[in-house]
Amino acid sequence: MDHYREIGKSLSDYMMYLVLVRPTMLPKGFSDKVNDETYSQTKRIVIQPKTKQTAMKVFAETLGSLYSHSVVPTSFSEFGAFWDGIKFGGQIEMLVSEERWDNEDKWKMISERWMQMMVHAASRCTWEEHAQQLRH
C-alpha cells in the first residue's frame, strides 16, 4: 500500500512543482488557467466567512453539495479543475465502498491518473523547452 501512495504523492508533488516553478514545461496557458479557476472556486467558498469555524462550515456544505451532485455545474469550465478533482475523488470512494477496493487499489488508481496527466503534459512540452530546463 505504501508503495503506490508514495508514487502518487511524488507524482502529485512533481506536477505541482511544474505548475508553480516550471509552468513553461506545461501546455501553453495551462498553469494560469488551473490557478485562476481553482482560486476563483476556492475564493467563492472560503473568502466570505469571518471566522475559521464559519469558513469550515461553508466549505463542508459546499463540498458536500458538489460531491452529492445536488449542485451540478452548467458547464465543465464553470468549475474546471476544482470540479474534476471532486468528481475523481467521488469515483474513487465509490470504487472503495461498492467494489470493495482496498487502499492499494485506490492508491494505484491515483498514481496511474497522475502518470497519465504527466505524460499528457510532457507530450505537449517542446523539446527545446525540455532541454532548456534540463540545463538548469
Residue at grid coordinates 505504501: 2
Read off the pLDDT of residues 72-86 as tens digits, 9 standing for 90 and up.
444 444 556 667 777
Q: Check residue 115 and give its pLDDT.
A: 92
Q: Check residue 70 and give its pLDDT.
A: 45
* Most confident among 24-33, 35-44, 64-73, 91-100 (mean pLDDT): 91-100
Domain containing 25 equals: 2-135
More confident residue, 58 or 126: 126
> How many other β-carbons are positioned within 10 Å of the β-carbon of residue 55?
15
Q: Check residue 42 and give its pLDDT.
A: 61
Nearest to 106 by CA among 7, 38, 13, 17: 7
More confident residue, 111 or 60: 111
Residue at grid coordinates 464553470: 78
Give Cα separations from 64 to 48, 57, 123 (angstroms). 18, 10, 35
Cβ(18)–Cβ(26) below 8 Å: yes
State how many domains the chain has.
1
- Calculate the average pLDDT of the chain: 73
Q: Check residue 2 and give its pLDDT.
A: 86
Of the chain, the percentage scoring pLDDT greater than 90 comes to 10
| Length in residues, the chain | 136
97 is written with which cell numbers? 465502498
Average pLDDT over residues 24-42: 66
